Amino acid sequence: MSILDGSPGTTTPGGDRAHSLLVSETDRDQRVGATAWVDEQLSGGAKVFYKARPEVWGGDPHWLLGPGGSPRASRALTTGQLEIMDFVEVVQAAGGTTQGLRELQFDEITRGLGEGWARVAMSQESPGRPLADEAEIAEFTTQESAYDELARDWPLTTLCQLTLVHENPVATWETAALHSGDIVDHQWSALWHDGRWRVRGELDASVVQRFGAALHGALRRCFQENADPTLHVDASEIEFVDVATAQSLILSAHSAGRRQRIVVHGADEVLRDVVAAVGRPRSLEYADEAGSPR
Amino acid sequence: MTAAAHDARGGLDHIGHVYDPATGLTPGVLPHVRAALAAGTPVSAVVDRGERRALHDALGPGAGITFTPPADLQQSSWAFLDHLRDVGRTPGGGLVVAQYSVFDIPDGELRQGEDDVNEFLGDLPVTLLCACPTTERATRRAMAHGVHPRLIRDGETRDNDGYRRPGTSLEVRTGVHALGLTFRARADLQHVRDQVAAVARAAGLAHRDRRACVLAVHEAALLVVGEGVSAGAEPCVLDMWTGDGRVTAELRGPSAGAPTDPAFPRDASDRPEPLEYVRLFCRDAASTDDGDTRLVKFVAARGRVRDGEPAG
């Protein structure tokens, strides 16, 4: 599995794919994806800081070092290129606060670079946070934003992991929305590229909730960060869209309608058929229509 | 825009009109209304207050149009048909304009009514013009596209290629058995789609028809698999056949709920029925549910795909 390149359109020291989300159905799927990413970062010369959930795997936080883990991990652990902490250790080191976590991350970056590594890569496994109220969601948002902020100033690459079997619907939704800029989720993915939200793959009822969350996140990002809040969607690499996905797209367009437009680039005739069958609102346009930007 | 007074053939003229609520239904139906009034035939409009005002403003006072309260036509399942018969008793026939959104009935009941109109009132010298706003839920919009032999599009009233005649027995087990597979969850549908695409390609369907075939199977598969088949239960099954210019499919899965009356093996029409989503992408579809097994079958289009109605 490869993590594709993409960025929100800004130049960052962290480079492309500075902050990604990997969605997995099960622990097994998660390990496959995480292993590939760790291998990629290690072979690319990055110092890797990996945060694991020990309780999930019977108290062994180092599955990365085992038969199902990364072939490079054992040696990397020995050389110091890889450091693994479990969440209990992280909470202790950070003093249980968001600020403490930020300081821990900063320390890891400076230490990694100080050791001579050209880049730093961080990954944390699915946290299983309840996100039971707005305060907790806000705190989660702040913690996630820290990765983007750090990546603007430092050569940092972050992979967040979302393993669905451990997460509730609220956490799944909020996590997908926060990672609209770079999400890899089974048969579909999305990332920012040249000012457009590029969506690839197959979108259907099995992933529609996460797609809808990511779309919401993309709209929110455009609204908050851009002078023109229009969301430009590159649909040229979408291979399949079902009615449920079209409904999600249209629902988002309806709810954003008064403040934002969605302009879809590269929509093929079948995608247009599906969207038309559900009912396209005025706030959803195709880039090749008169009056719409190309 | 063009329209003619009720067709001289003397039978039912059943027309669908999917309209943008921003402009209202009046612009689309006005030519038909004016033609009927000019011919001296009665016009009954079953519409909301806004459309009532728009029609009144467009036609002027004393135009002779009758506004029939929707509530009067929902007192029984036959009330609307009786109203059509009343209008049709006038020599030369008449026109009824019915706005979907004023009928507070389930989709299944609405579809039953539309099918009953087509099946039982085909000889009635009446024009029935059914108007559905683009903001209606997808199943109703799909229904509007499928149950009307004619549609108003771009100001013209034309034959509807997507019209499905009611009561036609749907035979799908014809030709060569091209595919048989099982599935248990929504996550399996990507694999299902790949297999269906291969069948459609081998059958010689053009690109757009292939995609429509895949969509139809996908939507039908969602119907039968629901949230997933529990462990130990029988999996869902997909079979496909090709030949004689057709691609057909049959999907079976666990029952969706209470059984329908076997004497009337139609859709489980007492609740919103996403079979309409399947119909969006195929030539014809039907489903039954006997309490144990839900069956969805359809005939894929060949060389022809239904056009969606743009919201504008």
For residue A119, give both structure tokens.
């880049």
CA neighbor of A83 nearest in space, from A104, A100, A102: A104
CA neighbor of B217 nearest in space, from A93, A116, A108, A242: A242
Name which of A24, A187, A206, A239 to mutate to probe chain B: the one with the most chain B Cβ atoms within 10 A of its Cβ. A206
Q: Which positions in chain A touch B190 (Cβ < 8 Å)?
A: 187, 202, 204, 206
**List of chain B residues with pLDDT < 70:** 1-10, 77, 166-169, 257-274, 301-312
Binary contact (A276, B311; C-beta < 8 A): yes
End-to-end CA distance of chain B: 17
Binary contact (A206, B186; C-beta < 8 A): yes
Mean pLDDT for chain A overall: 87
Lowest mean pLDDT among A15-29, A168-182, B247-261: B247-261
CA neighbor of B280 nearest in space, from A83, A274, A137, A214: A274
The answer to whether B17 contacts chain A (CB < 8 Å) is: no
Q: Please report, as a single letter, which amino acid is at residue B142.
A: A
What are the angstrom distances between the C-alpha of B76 and each of A257, B71, B81, B109? 40, 10, 10, 11
- Predicted confidence at residue B276, as pLDDT, reads 79
- For residues A198-218, average pLDDT: 96
- Predicted confidence at residue B17, as pLDDT, reads 94
pLDDT of A2 > 50? The answer is no
pLDDT in tens, A185-194: 999 999 999 9
pLDDT of A183 > 60? The answer is yes
Residue-wise DSSP of B227-289: T-PPTTSPPEEEEEEEETTEEEEEEEEE--SSPPPTTS-S--TTS--THHHHHTTSSEEEEEE
B180 CB contacts (<8 Å, ≥6 apart)?
B237, B238, B239, B240
Distance from CA of A281 to the nearest CA of B (A): 6
**E-assigned strand segments in chain A:** 19-24, 46-52, 82-86, 119-124, 156-163, 182-185, 188-193, 196-203, 231-241, 262-265, 284-286
pLDDT of A277 > 90? The answer is no
Q: Measure CB to CB from residue B219 to each of A243, A273, A281 and give the nearest one.
A: A243
Q: Tell me how far apart the alpha carbons of residues A100 and A92 are, in angstroms, rounded to a whole number.
A: 9
ipTM of the complex: 0.84
- Predicted confidence at residue A60, as pLDDT, reads 56
CA neighbor of A9 nearest in space, from A231, A264, A291: A231
Radius of gyration of chain A (CA): 20
Q: Which positions in chain A touch B189 (Cβ < 8 Å)?
A: 204-206
pTM of the complete model: 0.78
Q: Tell me how far apart the alpha carbons of residues B91 and A209 are, in angstroms, rounded to a whole number.
A: 56
Q: A292 versus B241: which is more confidently predicted?
A: B241
Q: With a CB-CB cutoff of 8 Å, which residues 20-49 of chain A face chain B?
A: 25
pLDDT in tens, A76-116: 999 999 999 989 899 999 999 999 999 999 999 999 999 99
The answer to whether A271 contacts chain B (CB < 8 Å) is: no
- Predicted confidence at residue A271, as pLDDT, reads 92
Q: Tell me how far apart the alpha carbons of residues B153 and B147 are, in angstroms, rounded to a whole number.
A: 15
Distance from CA of B47 to the nearest CA of A (A): 21
The answer to whether A1 contacts chain B (CB < 8 Å) is: no
The answer to whether B221 contacts chain A (CB < 8 Å) is: no
- Predicted confidence at residue B107, as pLDDT, reads 78
pLDDT in tens, A229-266: 999 999 999 999 999 999 999 989 888 867 899 999 99
Q: Tell me how far apart the alpha carbons of residues B291 and B269 are, in angstroms, rounded to a whole number.
A: 14
Cβ(B301)–Cβ(B162) under 8 Å? no
Lowest mean pLDDT among A129-133, A135-139, B107-111: B107-111
Q: B4 versus A219: which is more confidently predicted?
A: A219
- Grouping H, G, I as helix, E, B as strand and the rest as coil, residue A2 is coil
The answer to whether B161 contacts chain A (CB < 8 Å) is: no
CA neighbor of A215 nearest in space, from A186, A254, A273, A266: A254
Kindly identify which residue of chain A lies nearest to residue B133, measuring between CA atoms: A279
The answer to whether B289 contacts chain A (CB < 8 Å) is: no
Q: Measure CB to CB from residue A204 to each of B218, B274, B311 and give the nearest one.
A: B218
- Grouping H, G, I as helix, E, B as strand and the rest as coil, residue A162 is strand
